Amino acid sequence: MSNPASVHPVDPAFAAQSRYTREEYERQYAESVRDPDGFWGRIAQRLDWFKPPSKISNVSYDLGDFRIKWYEDGELNVSVNCLDRHLAERGDKTALLFERDDPNQPAEPITYRELHARVCRLANALRNLGVAKGDRVTIYLPMIPEAVVAMLACARIGAIHSVVFGGFAPNSIADRIADCASKLVITSDEGLRGGKKIALKANVDAALKLPGTNSVETVIVVRHTGAAVDMQMPRDRWYDVVVEGQSEQCEPERMNAEDPLFILYTSGSTGKPKGVLHTTGGYLVYASFTHEAVFDLREDDVYWCTADVGWVTGHSYIVYGPLANGATALVFEGVPNYPDVSRFWNVIDKHNVTIFYTAPTAIRALMRDGDEPVKKTSRKSLRLLGTVGEPINPEAWRWYYDVVGDGRCPIVDTWWQTETGGILITPLAGAIDLKPGSATKPFFGVQPALVDANGKLLEGEAEGNLVLTASWPGQMRTVYGDHARFIETYFKTYPGNYFTGDGCRRDADGYYWITGRVDDVINVSGHRIGTAEVESALVLHPKVAEAAVVGFPHDLKGQGIYAYVTLIAGEAPSEELRKELVAWVRKEIGPIATPDHLQWAPGLPKTRSGKIMRRILRKIAENAPDQLGDTSTLADPSVVESLVNERLGK
Ligand code: WT7
């Protein structure tokens, strides 16, 4: 429960200079829920609109009459907001600060003027290649400036981008291309992370041999490492060749606020990843406003978010939020432990980073190496720290606060999701006392509530399932190509509410403590993996009859992937086969889905109607066989006994 001793009160010196004091937060929060249209109408003025919206929200979560629209008659272009409008005042300001994997290579600052020119050249090239408003473009790139340029170039011409994380394997790329019928793919010869090369172009080639991908007409290839790659003419075109000679001016597409901006695939509890669709106006208002408020942004900040643009954090808080705000954002190609475990802190010193936003999994990993790699660096430029992606354990929070931040920098623990477009629950550092492990209070306009399994609203101090009772501008609008699935997934469980899939506790002070997913989604190092996806990959193997996958507590990753596998009759378990199956999943989905444990299961615990009892499998994986709970509905209790014995025998 909440321990008063572990409250970190707002630092008065920080509050004195911050955008929101306690009073301001309370006043504006009250206004934002009393008069949402008044509030969000005012906030929308932070953007440049070709046509300002006269209508603010038009939302109904009523299943019979469902709609989510914000600023529906407004017109704007996202790239104009991220680039053109800064040119007069901030043309020479650094927009992106590119820090390469190899620390001995010079960092590359890119000004707003230069970024604008690069975006226009690529946008013109895309138009020449026949890409038009509404077409889908898949981006499969490492963390290099071209990834940002590609996203903004799509936004400029109204193409819908779908960024696929570089850690995904050809099958996953192919699924994502097929689902949205992409016309064009932008990739690079190779990626480079921690000195290791990743064969991105070869992965795209393999993906495009798979069924369902023949919508792709063109592949643009960035020369990055300079490796020799197969170029299949006329499909494959070098990036530098297609942008050569293109004009540095490009007429932006006039977009309606509700026109799609991007699709980003994310795992759910069932089936294949869903294409989360975000639109233009509401998303940009929300991403830019939260970025400014939560990170207490100032003109001279050097802001660093360590996420990859392949995830929503990279979309909202490396690209769209910071650039719409005219900020300087660091783009980091590398990893925290290369060339050594001081890399993050060295980069902070090298570029005088003031705001640092990372994931609990990275903090836990670095914490294992002790204080010395941190303490030998200065970090005096830092003034605000942030975390995202999973609950942060109080021990890691304290280390981040005491050692990384030298006890000087508030930490914003920001809770949100791919679906939410931006941060929903977070402290504002000048306004809200911190409690290690709590994402604290709702952001402006956000109305969280807790419900029990039957949907009954819980008041006061309580623990239950987290829902949102009202919309916010950054909310996803649909699952691309499957609106029924959107409504089914998020609005059917607790009618009238958006269901987050997270469990949560609210303490006596009204603070929210996210406890983790309550559905069949595993949060591995802040990345969502659907148990169903890993299971489907396993059963594709000819020797596997059945598989069940659950999450289990993992010291570094937060949660690990635990797979139970039943082999087909006549196949015997072996260490070799275990390795083969683990490698198989990596190959099918990508390294991020690598099972941490694979246990042979002669049988799986099922109800008499044949449903796998995952609750029991979770407890066995957790090594808590004494907490199996009610097992009376099991069809064959001996199955559990044998799984427990096998687990304990390890
Ligand atoms: C899930 C969303 C939002 C960007 C990164 C992940 C978990 C996220 C926190 C936090 C506790 C968190 C939730 C959520 N999560 N941030 N600060 N505290 N849990 O995006 O892949 O869509 O995953 O991540 O379980 O539902 P995502």
Dist CA 389 CA 410 (whole Å): 18
Give the distance (Å) from ligand 1 centre to CA of residue 336: 20
Burial (CB < 10 A; 0-12, 13-18, 19+), residue 550, is buried
Residue 513: in which H helix or E strand, if any?
strand 512-517
Dist CA 453 CA 593 (whole Å): 29
Of 216-230, 367-381, 529-543, 633-647, least confident by mean pLDDT is 633-647
Torsion sign over Cα 83, 308, 285, 294 = negative
313 Cβ inside 6 Å of ligand 1: yes
Give the distance (Å) from ligand 1 centre to CA of residue 39: 26
**HEC assignment per residue over 119-165:** HHHHHHHHHHCCCCCCCEEEEECCCCHHHHHHHHHHHHHCCEEEECC
Output the pLDDT for position 650. 54
Give the distance (Å) from ligand 1 centre to CA of residue 111: 32
Dist CA 397 CA 411 (whole Å): 8
Ligand 1, atom nearest to 415 Cα: 17
Output the pLDDT for position 396. 97
Nearest CA to ligand 1 atom 27: 417
In this structure, are residues 163 and 144 in contact, taking their beta carbons and an 8 Å threshold?
no
Q: Which residues contact 142 (CB under 8 A, 6 or more apart)?
A: 166, 188, 190, 191, 192, 193, 198, 200, 224, 333
Angle at CA of residue 314, ends 504 and 361, nearest 5°:
50
Angle, helix 575-588 to helix 531-539, in steps of 10 degrees = 120
State pLDDT tens for residues 219-231.
Answer: 999 999 999 999 9
Output the pLDDT for position 5. 56
347 Cβ inside 6 Å of ligand 1: no
State pLDDT tens for residues 3-61.
Answer: 445 899 999 999 999 999 999 999 999 999 999 999 999 999 999 999 999 999 999 99
Ligand 1, atom nearest to 501 Cα: 26
Give the distance (Å) from ligand 1 centre to CA of residue 417: 5
pTM listed for this prediction: 0.96
Q: What is the mean pLDDT of the chain?
A: 96
Closest CA to 115 of 319, 256, 271: 319
Bridging pattern class, strands 94-99 and 75-76:
unpaired
Q: What is the CA radius of gyration of the chain?
A: 24
Dist CA 286 CA 420 (whole Å): 10
Give the distance (Å) from ligand 1 centre to CA of residue 527: 8
Give the distance (Å) from ligand 1 centre to CA of residue 193: 24
Helices (H), 505-591: 531-539, 575-588
Ligand 1, atom nearest to 439 Cα: 17
Bridging pattern class, strands 462-468 and 448-451:
antiparallel
Q: DSSP readout, 379-419?
A: -TT--EEEEESSPPPHHHHHHIIIIISTTTS-EEEEB--GG
How many H-runs (helices) and E-runs (strands) does the chain carry? Answer: 22, 31
Output the pLDDT for position 630. 85
Dist CA 27 CA 22 (whole Å): 9
Mutation probe of ligand 1 site: the residue of 417, 438, 479 with most atoms within 8 A of C-beta: 417
How many C-alpha atoms does 302 have within 13 Å on its Cβ side? 20
Dist CA 289 CA 41 (whole Å): 12
Amino acid letter for position 305: C
Output the pLDDT for position 536. 94
Nearest CA to ligand 1 atom 14: 417
State pLDDT tens for residues 563-600.
Answer: 999 999 999 999 999 999 999 999 999 999 999 999 99
Residue 609: pLDDT over 90: no
State pLDDT tens for residues 94-133.
Answer: 999 999 999 999 999 999 999 999 999 999 999 999 999 9
Output the pLDDT for position 147. 98
CB neighbours of residue 645 within 10 Å: 10
